[in-house]
Structure 1
Amino acid sequence: MKKFLYIILLASISLVFIRCEDMKDWSDPVDDVPPGKISNPMVENLNGAAQITYSLPSDNDILGVKAVFFLNENEAPREAFSSAFRDTIDLDGFPDTNERIVKLITVDKSKNESEPVEVVVNPLTPAVHLIRESLSVNETFGGLYVTWENPYKEDIGISLFMEDSTGTMVHNYTYFTNVAEQGYSFRGLENTPTRFQIQIRDNWDRYSDPLDTVMTPIYEEYISSKDQYGQLIILQYAHSDGTAEYRGDVPRWAQHTSQDWPDMFDGNIGNMFNTGNQGNPLSQYTKNPADELKMMFPVYFIMDMGRSCKFSRIKFWQWSTRTLAGAAPKHFQLWATNEEPQTVNFSTPILESLAYWTSWPEVGGYDGWTEKWDLIADCWNIPASGQTDPLLISADDVAWAKANGFEHEIFPEFTNKTYRYI
């Protein structure tokens, strides 16, 4: 028995040694032979950057290509790397349009380097300087409204500096973006003449020349929904006279006891105005049961502000349990007028009236009323991440929307005009 076990043990040990001896060495061979050089380099000069394409050598152990160059004369050299799976290398961060020499070096898996191939690049004007040419600023309520054009969609920061009592320019805030065309309002500024500077920067610490100006932000205050007696001023126009159905206004009356009209303006973001749990069926207007399943969009309602107001911005909050989901509004427009909305003639067929007041195809809607109103804001409720696909909205997006709401600017050309109806 012992002899039998001994034989089996020897056989097992021999098998282990045999298998180890047969194991393949998968590591890359190491040598000290430099790889071949790249060939056929071609340069495309870009704004503050350059892209170089080339042909790789035929060596079978190429790791990639390294570029060595200087952004500035008195700085250490910079390096960029592109793997052997590409025939292009991207260089960025050039602060000016001066000519530069770039050395392209092939690197193999043994870290051997080829002889360098020199190419000349002539970067175009960095985008921050071109964006600066479109930069403009105007006073707005409680601050400054800055606009710019960024067709390159560069990652940039728009920085505001303001002069303090000692004459020092102090950083106030930097707004980061890569949108092609945009405006931003710097808020929380006093209604006093102040020297400001607006400057653009990018990820490579390239700075534009500052826009230097003296401006007086317009005094801003919250438009209260109630008068000094606590009575609601902002009303849903025309519901009291029964013309809402003729105008296509969502038929939800102010005297509803749950999620009613005043809840939209009570300052409590936990409360809300609900346009109706059953949607907005056409049958609510035509009284035709056959129209019950035809849900109408867009939803309309007219607000009487109770007095003429100048508008600077609107802050919008979605229902906390439906934020960026369900029927939470994603897009809405704000129209305004000072003239009392056109009187409804009850002798006019309701479908004819609805055609004038809506864009609903089912009634031949053509939004005729817009000829007498001003479009003062076009509002998209999009989180700070810029995500627009509802299937990709993240928990962070929802948390951001709940904490911050959505702020929309009134178009600058209308901020100094007064309106009563929106």
Structure 2
Amino acid sequence: MKKINKYFAKALFSLQILVFVCLLSACKKNDGYNTEPISTDKTKPGVVTNIKVDNYHGGAYITYSLPNSDNILYVLAQYKINDKTSRETKSSYYTDTVNVEGFATNKPYDVTLYTVSRANVKSDPVKVVVNPDVPYYKLVKPTVVITKDFGGVNIQALNPFKKAIGMILIAMDNSTQRLEVSDQHYTNVDSINYSVRGFPSVERKFGVYVTDKFGNISDTTILDLTPLFETQLDKTKFSVYKQPSDSEIGYGWDLPYLWDGKVDGYSNGWHTNPGTGKPMQCTFNLGISAQLSRVKIYERPLEYAFFHGNPKSFSWWGSNAASPVDVVLPQSAPVGTVVGDWINLGNYRYPNPPSGLTPGFTNAADEAFVKEGVDFLVSASAPPVHYLRLLVHDTWGKGDAAHLMEVTVFGKPQ
């Protein structure tokens, strides 16, 4: 044992020496690294020359030649992007280009360039004029369309360059009698289409403007709109409309549990029987004909959140026939597709865990998100329906059984 300890001690000592040598080597390398402002040379550096400007939407690339000096640390660009906001951008000694961005509009802007030495001494200023193209947020603004929707408004716009922009909804506030910010929607998708709810069905002044990450703001589109009436449908009128193509029930989780108001995860919900394959579906009677605005689903929470039989991708089909005939619906169909007595009201995907964690390894916040329920919107152009059919295409657990705790339906009774 002593012999083993002796060799172990020698090996450990050798390893410590090796680590020390590596650290010392790294320190020596850093001593000569040109980004460290360690110079004591207070000489004013020379200016950049051979300046060229390459404009783009909302910004410009400025290329240049550096003065012949080993004492340069970086190039500094200072400029104003609008009447209020000043910005500065630094570019390393190792590059020959500085990117200036965030300009509010397409017009000439002055940019002042400095070289800065390793002793933080600035050169004389060099003035450059850039003339950026129309910024991205201004390209989005002319495409904005705002229309009335159930309980609010629908906002659409095109963002072909997929840039980060903000769609800001303002609405007349009854208490302040002013247009106040009602919703802020930030996105970088190319086709923007979303709805803002929670307004009564009375005429109101609404407005939308577009902003970007630099704080620039477009002009505002203002309209007087009357949101479509929306109410929660009475669940006491719901009833089972069992069809031959519907899935077998598993574990005694019968369909009426889907509208009993219990979402705690400890009560029963709807559950299909494993091993019976696809389609995983159920059909029920709303008890009234209604033009639907949204369907809120409550997936199974707790340890089942984003896991097991909780639906990941699914479709809602509806029928307004007096007694719709059963039919095996396709697993994939565009919205508006009609098959027999049934029409596709929408194809949906449940959102990913808000935490960003991998499904199956989620946290308490994700479980709370599931327990709050998620709204899935139905187009205002969809026809009224008296019957609903849920068709589950895929679950988070990728199994052959699906389950849900609760469904709440909103719309306008006919």
When normalised by structure 2's length, the TM-score is 0.72
Q: Does 1:137 align with 2:161?
A: no
SS of match in other structure, 1:312: strand
Give the counterpart of 2:377 among 388, 391, 409.
409
Larger Rg: 1
What CA distance in whole angstroms lies between the structure 2 residues aligned with 1:234 and 1:88? 68
SS of match in other structure, 1:130: helix
What CA distance in whole angstroms lies between the structure 2 residues aligned with 1:148 and 1:326? 37
SS of match in other structure, 1:94: coil
Query: Residue 382 of structure 1: CA displacement?
Result: 1.1
Residue 109 (structure 1) aligns with: 118
Give the 3 Å change call, closer, same or farther, for CA 384–205 of structure 1 in structure 2: farther
SS of match in other structure, 2:129: strand
Give the 3 Å change call, closer, same or farther, for CA 323–193 of structure 1 in structure 2: same
Q: AA paired with 2:116?
A: V
What CA distance in whole angstroms lies between the structure 2 residues aligned with 1:395 and 1:53? 48
Contact persistence 2:249–2:273 (CA under 8 A): no
The 5 Å alignment of 1:185-334 reads 185-227=195-237, 233-238=238-243, 243=244, 247=245, 249-252=246-249, 257=252, 259-270=253-264, 271=267, 273-276=269-272, 278=274, 281=275, 284=276, 295-296=277-278, 299-321=280-302, 322-334=304-316
Please, which runs of 5 or more residues in structure 1 have no aligned partner?
1-22, 228-232, 285-294, 345-355
Q: Which has the higher helix share?
A: 1
What CA distance in whole angstroms lies between the structure 1 residues aligned with 2:40 and 2:168? 50
Percent identical among aligned pairs is: 25
Give the 3 Å change call, closer, same or farther, for CA 403–49 of structure 1 in structure 2: farther
| Aligned alpha-carbon RMSD (Å) | 3.4
What CA distance in whole angstroms lies between the structure 2 residues aligned with 1:72 and 1:91? 13
Query: Residue 236 of structure 1: CA displacement?
Result: 4.3
**Greater relative contact order, per chain length (Cα 8 Å cut-off, separation 6+):** 2
Give the counterpart of 1:342 among 318, 325, 329.
325
Q: AA paired with 2:212?
A: D
Q: Does 1:420 align with 2:387?
A: yes
Give the 3 Å change call, closer, same or farther, for CA 174–148 of structure 1 in structure 2: same
Give the counterpart of 2:105 among 76, 96, 101.
96
Give the 3 Å change call, closer, same or farther, for CA 385–166 of structure 1 in structure 2: closer
What CA distance in whole angstroms lies between the structure 2 residues aligned with 1:419 and 1:89? 62
What CA distance in whole angstroms lies between the structure 1 residues aligned with 2:258 and 2:70? 69
Contact persistence 1:325–1:390 (CA under 8 A): no
Residue 403 (structure 2) aligns with: none
Query: Residue 31 of structure 1: CA displacement?
Result: 0.7
Query: Residue 82 of structure 1: CA displacement?
Result: 2.6
Count of residues in Structure 1 that have an aligned counterpart in Structure 2: 348
Give the 3 Å change call, closer, same or farther, for CA 77–308 of structure 1 in structure 2: closer
Q: Does 1:79 align with 2:88?
A: yes
Q: AA paired with 2:258?
A: M
Contact persistence 1:383–1:400 (CA under 8 A): no
Please, which runs of 5 or more residues in structure 2 have no aligned partner?
1-26, 390-414
What CA distance in whole angstroms lies between the structure 2 residues aligned with 1:143 and 1:225? 23
Contact persistence 2:211–2:218 (CA under 8 A): yes
What CA distance in whole angstroms lies between the structure 2 residues aligned with 1:329 and 1:106? 58
What CA distance in whole angstroms lies between the structure 1 residues aligned with 2:214 and 2:104? 8
Give the counterpart of 1:395 among 363, 373, 377.
363
Query: Residue 46 of structure 1: CA displacement?
Result: 2.8
Give the counterpart of 1:179 among 182, 186, 189.
189
